[in-house]
């Protein structure tokens, strides 16, 4: 079911919801490409790792939730696993995203839903997962509580988030550049994906929301871009508008010029950009008995 006309509860006020939905609807046709960019081109690797942590083999014919599903790539990765005989429900609050992913895997069903008030009964799913979405919810604790609520007792969570900015030095340098040339709002937009990098705080968030057996695996990786310009321009022309920030063409060109020096440390001998890009994958379990 693609419930595109369903009235969703408002998170952050009707103005914010309308803006965010319209924004993601507008970028839906190019979202998969943008996701490769803003996930440092490692989204496919992290999907496979998170699917392994989900432990779906315990219930290969079960029902699984992919929250903040976008164009259903994560759900499709699970659905295509050899031996998987279950069903994946891909939930997102932007119908245009879900429509684009409907044909990626036969066992994935798109549903329009708000992460803060999921339209599913308690204990509906054998597992739940989310890739690089938790950082952007207006109420992360509520989103986690909802995921746990709809899990069956003993059901598993697998959620991927980026490590902190201090462990991703190229983006730390870019944030400093934007702070100086475009202002704090632009810098904060690029800083936002890294807000859940503190392992202790991340574990505390999950346990306080009712999860048990919380484990955090930090996976290292190297991100590559063809040039400094391609890396920074993707942020200026794609990610910043997603966050509601539009810069003038003159300002964009200024930043691109200054970026060549500011990020020169990460340029290799052949001109490509190479830097560390670690992510955390959190695995957890819903208690079998109420605490």
Which positions ≥6 away from 38 have C-beta within 8 Å?
A: 193, 234, 235, 238, 239
- Integer Cα distance of 197 and 12 in angstroms: 24
Q: C-alpha distances in angstroms, 237 versus 109, 169, 246, 252?
A: 32, 21, 8, 8
Q: What angle do CA 278, 73, 229 make, to 5 degrees?
A: 50
Instruction: Report the alpha-carbon distance of residue 33 to residue 126 in Å, rounded.
Output: 30
Residue 116 predicted with pLDDT over 60: yes
Helices (H), the chain: 14-27, 31-38, 43-54, 73-79, 95-101, 140-149, 169-181, 184-191, 199-208, 228-234, 240-242, 249-262
Q: Please write the tens of the pLDDT for every residue from 36-66.
A: 554 445 555 677 888 999 999 999 999 999 9
Are residues 64 and 124 in contact, defined by beta-carbon separation less than 8 angstroms?
no
pLDDT of residue 138: 82
Name the pTM for this structure.
0.85
Boundaries of every domain in the chain: 14-285
In tens, the pLDDT along 76-95 reads: 999 999 999 999 999 998 88
Query: What Cα–Cα distance (Å) separates residue 207 from each residue in 90, 121, 144, 148, 269?
Result: 25, 22, 10, 11, 46
Residue 22: predicted pLDDT: 58
Task: Examine the pLDDT at 202 and tell me if it is beyond 90.
Answer: yes
Return the percentage of the chain with pLDDT > 90, whole number.
62
Q: What is the mean pLDDT of residues 158-174?
A: 94
- Separation CA 185–CA 191 (nearest Å): 10
Query: CA-to-CA distance for 119 and 1, rounded, in angstroms?
Result: 12
Residue bearing tokens 């009712």:
210
User: Distance between CA 254 and CA 232 in Å, rounded?
Assistant: 12
248-256 contact pairs (CB < 8 A, 24+)? 251/181, 251/182, 254/181, 255/177, 255/178, 255/181, 255/182, 256/229, 256/232
Nearest of 45, 41, 36 to residue 71 by alpha carbon: 36
Q: How confident is the model at residue 225 (pLDDT cuts 50, 70, 90)?
A: confident
pLDDT at position 2 over 90: no
Q: Does domain 14-285 bear CATH number 3.40.50.150?
A: yes
- Could you give the CA distance from residue 84 to residue 234 in angstroms, rounded to a whole number? 36
- Exposure string (b/e) for 43-78, b if CB count within 10 Å is 16 or more? beebbebbbebbebeebeebbbbbbbbbbbbbbbbb
pLDDT of residue 140: 93
Lowest mean pLDDT among 16-25, 65-74, 94-103: 16-25
């Amino acid at each position: 079911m693609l419930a595109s006309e369903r009235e969703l509860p408002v998170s952050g006020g009707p103005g914010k919801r309308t803006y965010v939905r319209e924004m993601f609807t507008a970028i839906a046709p190019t979202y998969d490409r943008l996701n490769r960019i803003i996930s440092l081109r490692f989204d496919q690797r992290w999907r496979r790792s998170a699917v392994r942590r989900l432990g779906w083999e315990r219930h290969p014919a079960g029902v699984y939730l992919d929250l903040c599903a976008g164009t259903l790539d994560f759900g499709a990765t699970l659905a295509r696993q050899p031996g998987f005989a279950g069903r994946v429900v891909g939930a997102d609050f932007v119908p245009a995203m879900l429509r684009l992913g409907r044909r990626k895997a036969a066992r994935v069903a798109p549903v329009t839903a708000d992460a803060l008030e999921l339209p599913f009964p308690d204990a509906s799913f054998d597992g739940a997962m989310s890739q690089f979405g938790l950082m952007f919810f207006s109420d992360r604790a509520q989103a986690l509580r909802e995921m746990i609520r709809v899990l069956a007792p003993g059901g598993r969570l697998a959620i991927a988030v980026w490590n902190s900015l201090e462990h991703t030095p190229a983006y730390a340098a870019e944030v400093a550049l934007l702070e100086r040339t475009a202002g704090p709002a632009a810098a904060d937009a690029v800083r936002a994906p890294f807000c859940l990098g503190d392992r202790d705080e991340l574990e505390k968030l999950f346990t306080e929301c009712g999860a048990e057996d919380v484990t955090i695996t930090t996976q290292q990786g190297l991100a590559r871009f063809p040039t400094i310009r391609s890396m920074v321009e993707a942020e200026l022309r794609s990610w910043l508008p997603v966050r509601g920030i539009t810069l003038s063409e003159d300002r964009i060109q200024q930043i691109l010029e200054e970026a060549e020096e500011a990020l020169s440390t990460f340029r290799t001998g052949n001109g490509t950009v190479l830097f560390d890009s670690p992510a955390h994958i959190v695995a957890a379990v819903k208690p079998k008995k109420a605490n």
